[in-house]
Amino acid sequence: MAAWHRTLTSTSTSRWGCRERSWARPFTKGRSLIPELPEVETVRRELEPWLTGRRVLSAERLAPAGPKYADLERAGGQTIMSVRRRGKFLLLPLSGGDDLIVHLGMTGVVAPGPREGESPHLRVRLRLDGGAPDTLDFHDPRRFGRFLVVKSQQYQTLPTLAALGPEPLEEGFTDAGFSAALRRSRAPIKTYLLSQRPVAGVGNIYADEALWRARVHPLTPANALSEAQVVVLRIAIRDVLAASIAANGTTLRDYRTPAGESGEFEEYLDVYGRGGAACRNCGAVLVKSVVGQRGTVHCPACQPSSAKAGAR
C-alpha cells in the first residue's frame, strides 16, 4: 500500500519529460479517443493487485442519475473479487453475485484517491476498506463513460459487451475463427474491425496500425481477404496490441494510467495521426481519408486498393 501511495504522490518526470497528471490542471486540447484494449489492459494491471479483496464501503454517484451509473449503490458492502478486462471494458466481479462494469468513454480516468487538487469532473467514488488510498475515483470530463453494476454475466443492457468477438491476445483468437468471422461480412475491413465482432478491443488507432503492418487497404471488403492476408492481419493485430501494452498504451489527450502516467506508444505509431508524412516502410506519402465516419490513414503503395490486393 505504501509503495502505491509513493507512486501516486510522486512528482518524478517520465522519460518523455512529462510530469504525472495533477487533477488541478485543465484537460489539454487534442484528439479525444476511446481508450482501446492496450490502454484498458494497462489500467487493469495497475488496479488488480491494489483492488482485489477490498470491500466497497459505499458507492457515491456524483453525476446526474442515468443508465450510465445504473444500480451503483448495489456495490456497497460487496468485496471486489478480481479486476478483469473484456475488450475495452473493465469487469470487477463482486462477492454478492454482481459485476461492476467500467467503460472509460473518451475522457474517463479511474484512479485511487482522494488526491490533492480534486478534479471538478469526479463522477463516481467508491469508498474502500483497508487504509489509504481508500477510494476508487472515476473522473470523466465529457461524460461518455460508464460505471454501473449489473448481475454477473447479465449484459443485455450493454449490447456491445454482450456481442464482443474473441480476445486477440488469448488462444481463442485463431486463424480459422478469424477467417470465418471475416467471411460473414462484406463491410470494409476497417469498419468491421471497429464493430468489435470479429475481435474485441481494436479501435481506430490499432486498426490503422494493424492494417498497415498487414499491408491491407482499409476499404478491402472483409470477406475478400485471402487466407494468407487473414493470417498476416491476425498476427499484426496481436503484435501491435502487445507492443502498445508494453508501452502502457497511447496517450493523445486524456488517457492516463491509474498512477497518472501517460502511455508512450504514440512515439511508435507508424500511420495513425501521420497523414501527409512519409511511410516508414517505402517513403510514399501517407493518405488521410474517412472510413465508416472514422479518420483513417494508410499508405497507397504498401496498402493497395482491394482490386489490386485481390490480384496479388
Of 44, 88, 197, 215, the catalytic one is 88
Torsion, Cα of 83, 193, 166, 33 (10° steps): 0
3-state SS, residue 26? coil
* Number of compact structural domains in the chain: 2
254 and 131 within one domain: no
In this model, does residue 2 exceed pLDDT 80?
Answer: no
The β-bridge partners of 242 are none
Residue 56 resides in a domain: yes
* Rounded distance between C-alpha atoms, residue 269 and residue 14, angstroms: 19
145 and 9 within one domain: yes
109 and 23 within one domain: yes
Residue 65 resides in a domain: yes
Question: Which residue in the block uniquely carries the three cell numbers 454517484?
Answer: 61
Q: 233: domain range?
A: 175-311
Q: Is 151 a catalytic residue?
A: no
Is the CB of residue 35 less than 8 Å from the CB of residue 88?
Answer: yes
Residue 40 resides in a domain: yes
Q: Give the number of other Cβ atoms within 10 Å of residue 238's Cβ.
A: 16
Please give the pLDDT value at position 311: 35
198 and 127 within one domain: no
285 and 152 within one domain: no
141 and 15 within one domain: yes
**C-alpha closest to that of 100 among 46, 49, 158, 144:** 158
In this model, does residue 265 exceed pLDDT 60?
Answer: yes
Of 55, 238, 288, 294, the catalytic one is 294
CATH number for 251: 1.10.8.50
300 and 217 within one domain: yes
Q: Which pTM value belongs to this model?
A: 0.86
Cell numbers linked to 213: 503492418
DSSP 149-169: EEETT--TT-HHHHT----TT
Extended strands (E) in 62-189: 84-86, 89-93, 98-103, 109-113, 122-128, 135-139, 146-151
CATH number for 114: 3.20.190.10
Please give the pLDDT value at position 11: 33
Give pLDDT tens digits for 110-159. 999 987 777 789 999 999 999 889 999 999 999 999 999 999 999 988 98
Residue with more model confidence, 308 or 267: 267
Residue 169 resides in a domain: no
Residue 67 resides in a domain: yes
Q: Is 184 a catalytic residue?
A: no
Q: Is 36 a catalytic residue?
A: yes
182 and 157 within one domain: no
Single-letter residue type at 169: L
Is the CB of residue 217 less than 8 Å from the CB of residue 304?
Answer: yes
Cell numbers linked to 43: 489500467
Single-letter residue type at 99: D
Percent of the chain with pLDDT over 70: 88
75 and 150 within one domain: yes
The residue from 161, 187, 217 where one domain ends is 161
Cell numbers linked to 81: 473479487
Of 20, 21, 36, 61, the catalytic one is 36
In this prediction, residues 248-276 reach a mean pLDDT of 90
Please give the pLDDT value at position 307: 52
188 and 149 within one domain: no
* Eight-state DSSP code of residue 92: E
**291: exposed, middle or buried (Cβ count in 10 Å: 0-12, 13-18, 19+):** buried
* Cα 224 to the center of its chain, rounded Å: 28
Of 21, 35, 93, 168, the catalytic one is 35
17 and 139 within one domain: yes
Q: Is 171 a catalytic residue?
A: no
**117: exposed, middle or buried (Cβ count in 10 Å: 0-12, 13-18, 19+):** exposed
Residue 31 resides in a domain: yes
Give pLDDT tens digits for 157-189. 898 899 999 999 999 999 999 999 999 999 999
The residue from 161, 184, 210 where one domain ends is 161
The residue from 94, 126, 161 where one domain ends is 161
149 and 30 within one domain: yes
Give pLDDT tens digits for 198-250. 999 999 999 999 999 999 999 999 999 999 999 999 999 999 999 999 999 99
